[in-house]
Amino acid sequence: MTTTTLILAGRERAIAEPVFKQLRRIIQAYGKLADPACSDAEKIEAVKIILVCLLDESINIKRLAGDELGALLQAIPDICGLKPVSPGSKNTGTDWGGIYAYLSAYFGWTYDYIDNYMTLSRLNEYQGYLKKHPPTHELVAAYLGYEYQDKQSGNGFLAAIAAQVKSKQALS
């Protein structure tokens, strides 16, 4: 697990990379800091949420020096394992449900396990393995020629599979 060391409230602190449960809250709070419509009180609350998620202890924001808070806010993407978003690119948000469902289906993990143990750096480490060794259900779908179509009904899918199986049998 990746750790970053920062000075906060005059003390050096090791900050571990947040797990998904924390990361979702950090991303939401960090987004509020960038929102010009948020009040100062909402931004202070967002910083408190970020601090609680990153540290094992609470820190009074008033004890943080301006440069310490600035360094923390600039370091958040690195601490969390996030990639910078390029200007002009559309951020459609993270499909957390899709990530959790995929990891749950692939590894048999519960959502609680993923929530409390998975980090972005761990997910990135798994991606190479997942590409080299796709799960059986993906291999079977590829073999049968299944391609996802939005709003596809179950009956249409079954009919398409049956047609493809028949065509493969006819070729044999």
Between the CA of residue 22 and those of 39, 80, 133, what are the distances in Å?
23, 9, 29
Pure H helices in 18-153: 20-34, 40-54, 66-80, 96-107, 111-117, 120-132, 136-144
- Between CA 156 and CA 100 the distance in angstroms is 27
Can you list the residues of the chain whose pLDDT is less than 50? Answer: none
CA 130, 168, 172 angle in degrees (round to 5)?
A: 120
- pLDDT given for residue 100 in this prediction: 93
The four Cα atoms 152, 156, 160, 162 give a dihedral, to 10 degrees, of 140
Asked if 20 contacts 111 with a C-beta cutoff of 8 angstroms, the reply is no
The predicted pLDDT at position 21 comes to 94
pLDDT on residue 61: 76
Structure tokens at 104: 């749950």
pLDDT of residue 85: 56
